[in-house]
Amino acid sequence: MKIIDRLNEDRIHISFEVFPPKKDEDYGKVVHAVDEIATLDPAFISVTYGAGGGTSKNTAKIASHIKDDLHLLSLAHLTCASSTKEEVRHVIKKLKEMGIENILALRGDIPEGLTFPDADRFRYAYELVEEIRKHGDFCIGAACYPEGHVENEHKADDIRYLKQKVDSGVDFLTTQMFFDNDIHYNFLYRIREAGITVPVLPGIMPITSASQMKKSQELSGTVFPRRFLAILDRFGSSPAAMKQAGIVYATDQIIDLLANGVKNIHIYSMNRPDVAAAIVKNLSEIIKA
Ramachandran angles phi, psi of 203, nearest 5°? -95, 120
Residue of 49, 167, 223, 52 whose CA lies nearest to 121: 52
**285 assigned to active site:** no
Q: Distance between CA 92 and CA 94 in Å, rounded?
A: 5
Sign of CA dihedral 28, 30, 36, 42: negative
Residue of 145, 100, 108 whose CA lies nearest to 127: 108
Marked catalytic residue, from 9, 17, 87, 112: 17
151 Cβ contact list (under 8 Å, min separation 6): none
Note the helical H segments in 146-207.
155-167, 181-193
Ramachandran angles phi, psi of 142, nearest 5°? -150, 170
Q: Which residues are catalytic?
A: 17
